[in-house]
Amino acid sequence: MSDLRQQALDYHAQPIPGKIAIALTKPAETVRDLALAYSPGVAEPVREIAANPDDAYRYTGKGNLVAVISNGTAILGLGNLGPLASKPVMEGKALLFKRFAGIDAIDIEVKHETSAQFIDTVAAIADTFGGINLEDIKAPECFEIERALIERCDIPVFHDDQHGTAIVTAAGLLNALEVQGKLIGDSRIVCMGAGAAATACMDLLITCGAKPHNIFMLDRQGVIHSGRTDLNQYKQRFANDTPLRTLMDVIDGADVFVGVSGPDVLPAEAVALMAPNPVIFACSNPDPEIKPALAHSVRGDLIMGTGRSDYPNQINNVICFPFIFRGALDARASRINDAMKVAAVEAIRALVKEPVPAEVLTAAGVETLTFGKDYVIPKPMDARLLPRVARAVALAAVASGVARIALPADYMQE
């Protein structure tokens, strides 16, 4: 770990500090180039945009530009370390946007005293961008912030910690249940954690067919049930009318465990109580809710996923968010709605049922990948994710009425 720490610091510091930079898209070598790029030529697109604001997409980089915005109140698993400390993470997100979807992204870290100030700040600058990716904002403030910005902004606003996690989790879980011979509508689901990722995951699973009465969510005080008086409005939506109070109570006979909480909170004894052919997605990073080796030692019929790249079935948001934004930007969507999220889920889960290209196997360091217990979600380096997910999302934007331009018939066709 000490070696990894130094390597990470060197990676960020050398040869140039940081992970992103500005690149020019037009020549700037001659006097004529400068006359076109700036004064006097730049006045012409200014006039066009003043007359028709949509022309900003024609004459500027707005349509391929995403703001990655945080206040640093929930940085990875490190907690509230402030806006400036979040900058390496936000630059990293910008790197992923560019690497996987060709999207230009710039990080913005916001100091504020109230959620209203944060909302006002972001809303005031939103027109600069084609989309906004909110990141590492703690619950429950993140719910209010995202909802308000969706209402106030005329571009997609997407809190990836909520919806990116939910989309990848739903895709992997639906596939895992298929392998295990189960249906989501019949499955008993235990969710350890009640923050932004947990509530978004359960919301999307319900959209995908899970039954609310089969979902048991736990926070630090135990099961979220209808008799509790300490629940905020977001947890209240998942209050189950049940006499069960502890993890050991609700895990008995459960088909699914989804962990978005912390390390080593799922004991082996709990895994032993789960229904035949269970699914465990233990997504706490870097240390999952239960170590895969321990879980598999208890249950040979288990499908296991984690947030780590060194185990099978990595639940990784990079499988989703660059391509969601690619499709949303290309359709010039006003928002990212449930139809687009479900389209992303279906496109992601379908990909693992196809033969895997050799270059993906090489990048993953394996000889073979076949749809089954150790392969229910695509590898992040699978280049097919871009055209498949972006096309599905863009077509869903058109079908659901939030797209503002027509797509060519061959958009993202491979």
Each residue's pLDDT tens digit in the chain (414 positions)? Answer: 668 889 999 999 999 999 999 999 999 999 999 999 999 999 999 999 999 999 999 999 999 999 999 999 999 878 899 999 999 999 999 999 999 999 999 999 999 999 999 999 999 999 999 999 999 999 899 999 999 999 999 999 999 989 999 999 999 999 999 999 999 999 999 999 999 899 999 999 999 999 999 999 999 999 999 999 999 989 999 999 999 999 999 999 999 999 999 899 999 999 999 999 999 999 988 889 999 999 999 999 999 999 988 899 999 999 999 999 999 999 999 999 999 999 999 999 999 999 999 999 999 889 999 999 999 999 999 999 999 999 999 999 999 999 999 999 999 997
In the chain, the N- to C-terminal Cα span, in Å, equals 41
Per-residue pLDDT, 78? 84
Q: Which residue has the tokens 């070598």?
A: 29
**CA nearest to 281, candidates 262, 305, 298:** 305
Whole-model pTM above 0.85?
yes
In the residue annotation, 93 being an active-site residue is answered as yes
Which one is catalytic: 19, 62, 87, 93?
Answer: 93
115 SS3 class: helix
Side-by-side strand order, sheet with 279-282: 222-223, 215-219, 189-192, 256-259, 279-282, 303-306
Pairing of strands 189-192, 222-223: unpaired
Per-residue pLDDT, 65? 98
Q: How many angstroms separate the Cα of 254 from the Cα of each of 186, 243, 308?
A: 11, 16, 24
Per-residue pLDDT, 1? 61
Per-residue pLDDT, 111? 96
Which one is catalytic: 38, 59, 111, 353?
Answer: 38
